[in-house]
């Protein structure tokens, strides 16, 4: 798969995050998009205790540290060279808080889709679905055996949908295997290419 694959939509492409597009991560995770606080660090901190008291600067510093140590954990969606979407994904076992919260046994072959960000001006245009479709294809090519997701079940305000809507995962072939009534664990096995 090329470094700048297309999505089948004119002017649209998806790229894995890496040193060359690191600054684009911060363009999508910005106050202008209502996303300047978390920087996709929620699952990287050890506990939820004190999470709400963290500052945007602390979260950005943690994200910079993650990048500096080689944690390139996601994909960017571009519309005409503008980053408008993000999906955080990586090997699940590296996120100890997530594994503990959902009582997931260790499995080095399982990857986790943990977060989506779509710029407000382009929401409801299928960007998260297109990102997920690409991620699943790329992970299969990279040798991932299984992918998990942890959406909120039921209607929720947009700010609570950062883990993605359940229907999107079900439409992509995921099935519920564990979790709680409002936070299912969804799994999809991949055909390694």
Boundaries of every domain in the chain: 12-189
pLDDT digits (tens, 9 = 90+) for 3-41: 445 555 678 899 999 999 999 999 999 988 888 889 999
Of the given ranges (107-111, 121-125, 165-169, 172-176), which has the lowest mean pLDDT?
121-125
Tell me which residue of 88, 81, 186, 101 sits closest to 132, measured CA to CA. 88
Question: Per-residue pLDDT tens for 103-148?
Answer: 999 999 999 999 999 888 888 888 999 999 999 999 999 999 999 9
Q: Is the dihedral of CA 61, 66, 68, 73 positive or negative?
A: negative
Q: How far is CA 125 from the centre of its chain?
A: 18
Which fold would CATH assign to domain 12-189? Answer: Aminopeptidase (3.40.630)
pTM: 0.90
Element (H, E) at 186: strand 184-189
């Amino acid at each position: 798969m090329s470094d700048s694959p297309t999505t089948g939509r004119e002017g649209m492409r998806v790229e894995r995050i890496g040193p060359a597009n690191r600054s684009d991560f911060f363009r999508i995770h910005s106050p202008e998009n209502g996303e300047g606080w978390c920087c996709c660090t929620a699952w990287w901190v050890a506990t939820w205790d004190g999470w709400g008291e963290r500052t945007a600067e602390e979260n950005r510093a943690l994200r910079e540290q993650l990048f500096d140590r080689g944690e390139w954990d996601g994909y960017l969606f571009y519309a005409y060279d503008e980053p408008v979407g993000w999906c955080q994904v990586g090997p699940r076992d590296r996120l100890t808080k997530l594994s503990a919260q959902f009582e997931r046994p260790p499995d080095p072959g399982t990857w986790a889709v943990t977060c989506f960000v779509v710029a407000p001006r382009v929401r409801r245009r299928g960007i998260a679905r297109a990102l997920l479709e690409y991620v699943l294809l790329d992970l299969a090519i990279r040798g991932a055996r299984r992918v998990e997701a942890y959406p909120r079940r039921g209607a929720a305000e947009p700010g609570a949908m950062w883990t993605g809507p359940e229907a999107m995962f079900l439409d992509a072939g995921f099935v519920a295997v564990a979790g709680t009534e409002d936070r299912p664990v969804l799994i999809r096995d991949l055909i390694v290419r």
